[in-house]
Amino acid sequence: MPHQIVWSNPSGETRVAGLVDKLLENRSNAEFRSSAPTDFIQSAEMATPAVVNIRALIETGNSIWGGGALTGSSGSGVVVAPEGYIVTNHHVVERSKDIKVTLADKRTYQATLVGSDPSTDIALLKIDEINLPFVIFGNSDSVKVGEWVLAVGNPFNLESTVTAGIVSAKGRNINILSGAASIESFIQTDAAVNPGNSGGALVNTVGELIGVNTAIITESGSYEGYSFAVPSNLVKKIVADLREFGAVQRAFLGVGIQDLDSETARDLGLPNAEGVLINRVATEGAASDAGLKPGDVVVGIDNTNVRSTAELQEYIGRFRPGEVVQVDYWRENRRLRSKIVLKDVNNSTKVARATGNELEEELGLAMRNLSREEQRKLRLQGVMVNSVRRGSLVYETNMQPGFVITSVNGKRVNNVSEAVEAMKSAYSQLSLDGYYEGESDLYSYRFRKSD
């Protein structure tokens, strides 16, 4: 049935016209009635109670126990579980010592940082409350360009603000996240997002969370037409990792990749330039084990078409080491398929669970995560030194058990996983900064790792 339009002329005559009829006939005085506008009321009523305001404070000066000046940032967050788990952006709570969450009903809570992932700009907070209103994760893969969406947040500290727009694009990479392992495959919308919206909800018209608002492209510092959100399917995986492990379990194909251009696609015999060209295969990596080679073009993962590097990175980012994906790739004018067992950055298929004892032999210290009570009492994020082995590198610095490490070589650490990773990745020199309970001075222990 052709698309139909209801129109009426000045004399009151009403008729249904086909689209071609409408375009060809001279109806300059006609008044056209489009379909009824999308009803956003239910979606807004479902999402707004679950969106919170976040105030993250950073204390400057030498004393963290009192007296320092406070600076900070404000943003938004989304309650994703009734027992107090809240998703926000990493950049909203980065380096913060004190995080306060204000619910839509004005109740304010002290929050603890469960974990944070700079490579996706996602962080997970926890407050001590139950039976909170929360949003349900939607399927961001099913989101269509042109679909209506709502952005809910606290721009300019204006509480519970709802704006509407459409999905303008998917799989958008805007190069704002640093690091080789960063994942940018944003949902782009034209819903108005301003400073303070970061970490807020992007929901569909049935109130499901399809993204976490993260960035805008602007020259003025405020909204200028487009905003970007981390897709909910990736957020859901990051949240699950942070809840279970305190750190993200990142899986890799073990390849170097680049987008295709039309000339390369033509040379390889591809029907179009959609796909991801492999330019390097890591030795003993997941792709190498499955027989993939430089020059292969990945065109699908698990029966889903892959058109760009951003889409491929996002899809692989949803998996943990040891999980299996089905990869479709193009080689010598043929479409082939392999099952690949994903690995971590160290080519292991095991999920890494940091115990705090990983560096006991090399450096001589064992660590543990701070309890919630310790975090609240000390107003610190970091790791506690459990023990120092006599005669070890750390022992020679005179570090004592009970020391709370807050940064490694200037990089903030919030849990054992982050601390271990930072110490292992340091080239030679190590600087462990932190505090002892009851003392206001910052201590810094510096030493060289053994060769």
Is the CB of residue 84 less than 8 Å from the CB of residue 132? yes
Give the ranges where 302-435 is alpha helix by DSSP (H).
Answer: 309-316, 372-378, 393-396, 416-425
289 CB burial (10 A radius; 0-12, 13-18, 19+):
middle
CA distance 125 to 333: 49
| Residue 199 identity | G
End-to-end CA distance of the chain: 76
Does the annotation mark 21 as catalytic? Answer: no
Q: Which of 76, 119, 168, 198 is catalytic?
A: 198
Cα distances from 419 to residues 167, 315, 344, 409, in angstroms, run: 39, 27, 18, 10
DSSP string, 13-69: -EEEEEHHHHHHS--TT-EEE-PPPP--HHHHHHHGGGEEEEEEEEE-SS-SSSS--
Is 3 among the residues known to form the active site?
no
Catalytic entry in 98, 117, 121, 328: 121
Give φ, ψ of 199 to 5 degrees.
Answer: 90, -5
What's the rounded Cα separation, in Å, for the pair 103 and 277?
46
Q: Among 91, 232, 308, 417, which one carries the catalytic annotation? A: 91
Residues 6+ apart with CB under 8 A from 26: none
Nearest to 417 by CA among 377, 337, 358, 371: 358
Active-site amino acid positions: 91, 121, 198
